[in-house]
Amino acid sequence: MNRSLGKIRRLQQYATPDGKFVMFALDHRGNLRRSLNPDAPESVTYEQMTQFKREVTAVMSPSATAVLLDPVYGVGPVITAGALAREAGLLLAVEKTGYTGDPTARQSQILPGWSVEKIARIGADGVKLLIYYHPDAPNAAEQEALVRQVGASCREYDIPFFLEPLSFSLDTAVAKLPAAEKRQVVIETARRMTPMGVDVLKAEFPVNIPASARRWMRLCRPIRSTGKNTIPAIQPPKPLPANTVSATVPVITGLFRLCRRRWTSCWRIWQHGRYPSPSSANTCPPNTNASGKAPCPTPPAP
């Protein structure tokens, strides 16, 4: 796949000088409501959601190469408030949260009123699509068609396409895929979808983490030992089968638990009207040694 100059330039915007992505994701909607008020998530107001996203973006974005936001609560309030650091790239989610259809044939949808064209027009640097997918699901072809559609639009508007596939069980009696099946599904999903105009694949970790805790720790130990202020960027276990992913498509996987701990710290601090300081390793992103950018500032108290 030969990328256009527009895609190359935008991908450069996402990267540190040595080519690493240091991205901060804040496109959460339903999950964020449940975190802000676990007992009554439906009581969380639009104003509370937008305020949280504005304030956390202002704190975190100076230390990130890019921020992932959603169109409903994030991008408008963040941009109009000037909360996004000028040097940070902007990645926008294009999908409607959740899914429709049967749990064994989950159907993803584009958020009504939004499109790749609209995301490009507002000046974002990339499009992210989260899609529920299982290669053996009865609607797998429909989900693949949606990926191709978004990929074609991203090519038309010279904007990078970030794809985040989420696997699921085809057995309603089994909540999560068994470890062996999950690995096969993640690998087959990558094989099928990366040729569909995808520039960056945000892949699931291809093992069942709770069922493989010892293996998880072994895989993470070399990176965990590099320093407590470093957020690891974990690649899938190697070796992966040949030709799993198109050679031109980088694969990103992440330490969900670590990121969620930091994210949870942010909202707890936000609830008490305080902000993280650059010296707080548990609540603030890495300093300049990690991302090549300035430490996160401490905004004035409201």
Range(s) of the domain holding residue 43? 1-93+255-295
- Examine the domain organization and report whether 24 and 76 are in the same domain: yes
Q: Domain for residue 198, yes or no?
A: yes
Q: Domain for residue 300, yes or no?
A: no
- Examine the domain organization and report whether 285 and 241 are in the same domain: no
Cβ atoms 132, 106 nearer than 8 A: yes
Q: Domain for residue 46, yes or no?
A: yes
Q: Which residues contact 110 (CB under 8 A, 6 or more apart)?
A: 94, 95, 96, 146, 150
Q: Domain for residue 301, yes or no?
A: no
The whole-angstrom separation of Cα 158 and Cα 11 is 11
Q: Which residues contact 167 (CB under 8 A, 6 or more apart)?
A: 133, 134, 177, 182, 185, 186, 189, 204
- Examine the domain organization and report whether 246 and 113 are in the same domain: yes
- Examine the domain organization and report whether 136 and 205 are in the same domain: yes
- Examine the domain organization and report whether 133 and 243 are in the same domain: yes
- Examine the domain organization and report whether 106 and 237 are in the same domain: yes
- Examine the domain organization and report whether 106 and 247 are in the same domain: yes
The whole-angstrom separation of Cα 71 and Cα 116 is 12
- Examine the domain organization and report whether 141 and 220 are in the same domain: yes
From first to last of its 302 residues, what are the pLDDT tens digits of the chain?
A: 567 888 989 988 888 888 788 888 899 998 889 988 899 999 999 999 999 999 999 988 998 899 999 999 999 999 999 999 999 999 999 999 999 999 999 999 999 999 999 999 999 999 999 999 999 999 999 999 999 999 999 999 999 999 999 999 999 999 888 888 888 888 888 888 888 988 888 888 766 655 555 665 554 454 344 333 322 333 343 344 444 444 444 544 433 333 444 445 555 555 555 444 433 433 334 433 344 444 444 433 43
Half-sphere exposure for 266 (CA within 13 Å, toward CB): 25
Considering the entire predicted model, what is its pTM? 0.74
- Examine the domain organization and report whether 246 and 262 are in the same domain: no
Instruction: Find the CATH number of the domain harbouring 268.
Output: 3.20.20.70
- Examine the domain organization and report whether 38 and 160 are in the same domain: no
Cβ atoms 67, 23 nearer than 8 A: yes
Work out how many domains the chain is built from and give that number.
2
- Examine the domain organization and report whether 229 and 89 are in the same domain: no
